[in-house]
Amino acid sequence: MKKILLIIPLLIGCSSTKEKSEYESLFDYEGKYEYVDNTTLELKASAMDTTLYAVIDNAKYPLKFIAIDSFTDMQGSSVIFERDNSKKVISYKSDGQEFKLLTKDIDKSNMFPRKELFDKPENYEYKKPTETDDGLATGNLDDEFKNPKLIVDMVKETIKGNFPDVHSILIYKNNKLVLEEYFYGYDENTPHQLRSATKPFIGGILGIAVDQGFIKSEKDGLLPYFNSIYPEIANLDKRKKEITIENFLMYRHGMDCENNNPESKGYESKMMQSKDWVKYTLDLPMVGEPGISSSYCTGCALTLGSLVEIATDKKIEDFAKENLFEPLNISNYKWTFEPNQTSSDDFSQTYFTPRDLIKLAKLFKDGGKWNGNQIISKSWIDKTFNMDKGDYGYLWEHKYFIVDRRTYNSYLASGNGGQKINIWPELDMITVFTGGNYNSYQLYGKSTPPNEMIPKYILKSVK
């Protein structure tokens, strides 16, 4: 079941039995089990949709019911449960391996948005966020929004389960944190996986390396930095030799790499099957001239992270800690950058608390300054956000919504599952969503909940 992190199955509940309800019949399978590489996973039944979920790294992955004691995982592999003579489940088998049940003792609080309010969401009461020593001032919704009731309604709808697996919602308006809500067992102290929302921050870290002179300019050619590591690059032609660092920062690489196209040679899942993801990316064939049109490619961000390490002669985690995270007083995070198969479980992604995501976004919104200190040069931030409508700039995305015939512009860091960090320059606002709706569009044809919540509730509330 290790493939559980890549593709998610359809949400299908279990058939009922005469003795038990559909939901109760799933209790047989609940518990903590052995998992691959000496780790564990938990299986939990959800009363919200009568579905059995595998929970790994606080992320939920539904299993598809086939028959009694028989399910399939996200890639269609069988998950068959074994019982002892007393008919109690003792293990499951998948991909030729057997994983034993370790204990039935599990915490199911993360299966509800807010368990204490699930049956009475109308009892939710808005509270001003607590001010801490993290450097973020707090304020009240009523002071910053024309119609704060809409935002309160959004929280209530999340508590009802109408926006499933939204883990946090934070709104920072006019330099004050005015909304901070957590769901499914998450809280302000829980670092959340960002998936691809990590990429824009790699762009900022690279900017610091340029500011400090480790890299002369983002206009430099890209390949010469990798000559000593990869003396031979496949599919090397005139076009590939002309690729600049900036081409990768703007996804204008000209290579056969497109995350939204499974037929692309650089498709993310294909890249991750290789031993060295940076080498795989640099070896891709060219399909156009660099610098012309953008094509979203995970390999670009990973290659730029590796470039920081080559130029600074430091692990990017260490360089970022010293020059970005510590200056912002960010310490409760996790990051292991290994763009190869050793990262097959976490994809080299970062984990940050949502409040720290507000701080990182505020740094970019404020021209690279934090508490009066210039962390990233203003010129780099200006170039980062100098992008065409709906395009990319230095690994950020231009995202806009049209509400009541008005266009609202934002700069977006986005990750699979509903990780959405939006900077709204015209509204002096930052919004942060974290969530667990992994691969929702590919499997269900649906965008993640924030894409509905932002225009329907937040943008309709602004003054």
Say whether pLDDT at 10 is over 60.
no
Report the chain's mean pLDDT, rounded to a whole number. Answer: 93
Question: What's the whole-number mean pLDDT along residues 338-363?
Answer: 95
Is the separation of the CB atoms in 311 and 296 below 8 Å?
Answer: no
Mark whether 389 and 282 lie in a shared domain.
yes
What is the pLDDT at residue 39? 94
Of 111, 137, 164, the residue that ends a domain is 111
Question: In which band, very low, low, confident or very high, does the pLDDT at 20 lie, cut at 50, 70 and 90?
Answer: confident
Local confidence band at 85 (pLDDT 50, 70, 90 cut-offs): very high
State the chain's maximal CA–CA distance in angstroms: 72
Q: Is the pLDDT at 5 greater than 90, yes or no?
A: no
Q: What is the band of 59 on the pLDDT scale with cuts at 50, 70, 90?
A: confident
Length of the chain counted residue by residue:
463
If DSSP codes are grouped into helix, strand and coil, which group holds residue 310?
helix
Percent of the residues in the chain that have a pLDDT greater than 70, as a whole number: 95
Tell me how many helices (H) and strands (E) the chain has: 14, 21
Residue 8 lies in a domain: yes
Q: Tell whether the torsion through CA atoms of 271, 272, 276 and 277 is positive or negative.
A: positive
Residue 122 domain-assigned? Answer: no
Domain of 356 in residue numbering reads as 192-458
The DSSP line for 109-168 is GGGSSSGGGTT-GGG----PPPP-SSS--B--HHHH-S-HHHHHHHHHHHHHTSSTTEEE
Whether 343 is in a domain gets the answer yes
Summarize pLDDT for 409-443 with one digit per residue, the tens.
Answer: 999 999 999 999 999 999 999 999 999 998 765 55
Residue 154 lies in a domain: no
Please determine, for residue 218, whether its predicted confidence score (pLDDT) is greater than 60.
yes
- pLDDT for position 442: 54
Q: Are 159 and 165 in contact (CB under 8 A)?
A: no
**Which of these three, 111, 136, 154, is where a domain ends?**
111
Per-residue pLDDT band for 14 (boundaries 50, 70, 90) equals: very low
**pLDDT confidence band for 37 (50 / 70 / 90):** confident
The answer, yes or no, to whether residue 19 has pLDDT greater than 70, is no
Confidence of residue 58 (pLDDT cuts 50, 70, 90): confident
Q: Using only C-alpha atoms, what is the Rg of the chain? A: 23
Q: Which of 57-66, 133-142, 273-282, 395-404 has the lowest mean pLDDT?
A: 57-66
> Do residue 207 and residue 97 come from a single domain?
no
Same domain as 265, residue 365: yes
Which of 80, 111, 142 represents a domain boundary (last residue)?
A: 111
Asked if residue 180 is part of any domain, the answer here is no
User: In angstroms, rounded to a whole number, what is the distance separating the alpha carbons of residues 310 and 77?
Assistant: 40
Q: Which two tokens stand for residue 20?
A: 């038990």
Residue 9 has pLDDT above 70, yes or no: no
Task: Summarize pLDDT for 335-345 with one digit per residue, the tens.
Answer: 999 999 999 88
Lowest mean pLDDT, pick from 104-118, 125-139, 205-219, 351-365:
104-118
Domain count of the chain? 2
Question: CATH no. for residue 88?
Answer: 2.40.128.50
- pLDDT score at 66: 97
- Confirm whether 328 is domain-assigned: yes
Distance CA 79, CA 71 (A): 5
The enclosing domain of 269 has a CATH number of 3.40.710.10
Domain co-membership, 102 together with 197: no
Domain co-membership, 207 together with 107: no
Question: Per the domain annotation, does 275 fall within a domain?
Answer: yes
- pLDDT tier at 74, thresholds 50, 70, 90: confident
Please report whether residue 163 resides in a domain: no
Residue with tokens 């404020």: 366
